[in-house]
């Protein structure tokens, strides 16, 4: 079964290449069905040699083969991040079937976190399928827990909506987005209702760490500074799922 691990690592940069297109186009409402097709600088149609994930960027020194214009580091970074997700899963996972669930979850969370970081948005087109994927993974890997995980999805959504509504009443502005509620619903579907407090705890600690780093980096933080919570939630779900963190305190 070592093939599973190898395949995941080989596939990862190609998935990353697709995620890069997704991250760029979803927030702009552009179709994602086609990949990158032309050099953004000289308009030359890209061929297979230009589109080898990771490899093209390294081989051509991060420049267009024709016009030598620097190619954004972005696609290379996403491909590298997707590979990191796969390598992390391979390092942590003993079960070859669960490995694929790890990768699907990790890659989807990567796209969500990246988009939220840049646009303060968690697109439904990613969060809602992630709820279904979580229930699907549960049905295959631990069918006895399906009801518990379905309850987790509902509880995650309602808990965030309730906190959001309370925050709105207290402060008179939005604190948590609907996207965050749907992502927590996905978390419930993946790890079950009993693990949700752990997801919330890890996410909160991640947010505090990020805010601390932000301040150290010299950026002003006030009570109204917007910090995207999606990446914190995504990281928390990844950790709780991958390491099967204790279901309760």
Cα–Cα distance, 133 to 144 (Å, whole number): 16
Enumerate the β-bridge partners of residue 45: 38
Query: Between 55 and 246, whose beta carbon lies closer to Zn ion?
Result: 55
CB 17 to Zn ion: min, Å: 18
Q: Do 215 and 178 touch, CB atoms closer than 8 A?
A: no
Phi then psi for residue 63, to 5 deg, are -125, 155
Q: Which residues bind Zn ion (CB under 5 A)?
A: 39, 41-42, 64, 66-67
CB 59 to Zn ion: min, Å: 15
Query: Between 4 and 41, whose beta carbon lies closer to Zn ion?
Result: 41
Cα–Cα distance, 176 to 189 (Å, whole number): 20
CB 76 to Zn ion: min, Å: 16
Torsion of CA 136, 127, 158, 102, to 10 degrees: 50
Query: Between 70 and 212, whose beta carbon lies closer to Zn ion?
Result: 70
Query: Between 7 and 46, whose beta carbon lies closer to Zn ion?
Result: 46
CB 67 to Zn ion: min, Å: 3
Q: Which two tokens stand for residue 231?
A: 């990446």
Please count the other Cβ atoms lying within 10 Å of the Cβ belonging to residue 172: 7
Query: Between 65 and 119, whose beta carbon lies closer to Zn ion?
Result: 65
CB 57 to Zn ion: min, Å: 14
Please count the other Cβ atoms lying within 10 Å of the Cβ belonging to residue 80: 17
Enumerate the β-bridge partners of residue 63: 70
Please count the other Cβ atoms lying within 10 Å of the Cβ belonging to residue 48: 7
């Amino acid at each position: 079964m070592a093939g599973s691990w190898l395949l995941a690592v080989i596939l990862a940069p190609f998935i990353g290449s697709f995620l890069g297109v997704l991250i760029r186009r979803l927030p702009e409402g552009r179709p994602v069905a086609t990949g990158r097709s032309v050099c953004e600088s000289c308009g030359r149609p890209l061929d297979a040699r230009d589109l080898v994930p990771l490899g093209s960027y390294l081989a051509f020194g991060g420049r267009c083969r024709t016009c030598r214009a620097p190619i954004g580091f972005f696609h290379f970074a996403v491909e590298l991040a997707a590979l990191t997700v796969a390598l992390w899963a391979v390092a942590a996972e003993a079960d070859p079937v669960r490995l694929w669930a790890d990768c699907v979850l990790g890659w989807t969370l990567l796209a969500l976190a990246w988009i939220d970081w840049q646009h303060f948005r968690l697109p439904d087109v990613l969060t809602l399928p992630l709820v279904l994927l979580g229930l699907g993974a549960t049905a295959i890997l631990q069918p006895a827990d399906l009801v518990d995980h379905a309850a987790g999805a509902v509880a995650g959504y309602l808990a965030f909506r309730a906190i959001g509504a309370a925050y709105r009443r207290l402060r008179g502005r939005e604190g948590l987005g609907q996207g965050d509620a749907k992502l927590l619903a996905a978390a419930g579907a993946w790890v079950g209702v009993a693990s949700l407090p752990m997801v919330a705890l890890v996410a909160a600690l991640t947010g505090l760490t990020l805010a601390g780093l932000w301040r150290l980096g010299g950026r002003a933080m006030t009570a109204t500074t917007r910090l995207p919570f999606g990446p914190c939630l995504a990281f928390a779900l990844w950790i709780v799922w991958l390491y099967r963190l204790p279901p309760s305190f």
